[in-house]
Amino acid sequence: MTLRASSELLPALRQLIRPLDTHKGLYGSVGILGGASGMIGAALLAGRAALHLGVGKIWIGLLDSRLLVDPSQPELMIVATNQILKQNPSHLLIGPGLGQSQQATELLHHCLMSCLPLVLDADALNLIAQESEFQSLLRTRAAVTIITPHPAEAARLLQCPTETVQAQRETAVKTLSNEFCCHTILKGSNTLIANQQEIWINTSGNSALSSAGQGDVLSGVVLALLAQGLSAIEASCCAAYLHGCAADSWRKKHPNGIGLTASETCLLVREELNLQLN
């Protein structure tokens, strides 16, 4: 299977350019599920990334219900987890800060059973790795599904050591996509993106992205591009490329690569997207 560069799909971003006469309802209404106790920030980061990449409406269902509003980003609508599907979202993301509680398990089951396009990240993937029923539901989903594992999560899904995934990354990403009938973003240096026919390699990015929350931001970017009309492979490849370019631009000002936060990356990815559309 020939590797193709993810940057080849950047022309697809021109679909995002907005006519003068539009409204927020045209740009996706997404639901994000996660944010258990001690991990609320993960869900907020995903939501902020989706917001800055252009999604029209964003509901966040937090498992830790103590937070009623994001004071830094009040545009995000925080609701009870059981209210997300009642909002009739166009797309779903589950996983950032989800945890592995009984409530998390039930939410994942509802998402896998839904007919909505779905992005799966973090503990959603760990729960799937543990439950054969979830694996079956994932394989048989009719709607678009994108999984975004880092190497350890990929190894759990494939039931092999992480070292094996890293030594055979192309085989791993191909196997995940074929085994679970989905699109796969295998994160890491030279992130790989695969559907069931092709593998794409991302060459942007650097070690400044080795910080907490960057995966949550990436999942939010994927969700945003998907919700605004890009295909699953376009959204996956362009998200990985823009996320990496954001870090590359930041590193030009900070050559030692130390201290890039996920919160900063949300804004930097927005800049990269708009630069690509000029």
Binding-site sequence positions: 42, 97, 150, 187-191, 215-216
Kindly report the number of other CB atoms within 10 A of residue 251's CB atom.
Answer: 18
189: alpha, beta or left? (left if phi > 0; alpha if psi -120 to 50): beta
Q: Which residues are annotated as a binding site for AMP?
A: 187-191, 215
> Percentage helix, strand, coil, to 5, in the chain?
50, 15, 35
Q: Which residues are annotated as a binding site for (6S)-NADPHX?
A: 42, 97, 150, 216
Question: For residue 241, how many C-alpha atoms fall within 13 Å in the half-sphere facing its CB?
Answer: 24
5-41: burial string, b at 16+ Cβ within 10 Å, e else: ebbebbebbeebeeeeeeeeeebbbbbbbbbbeebbb
Helix 132-139 to helix 123-130 angle, to the nearest 10 degrees? Answer: 110
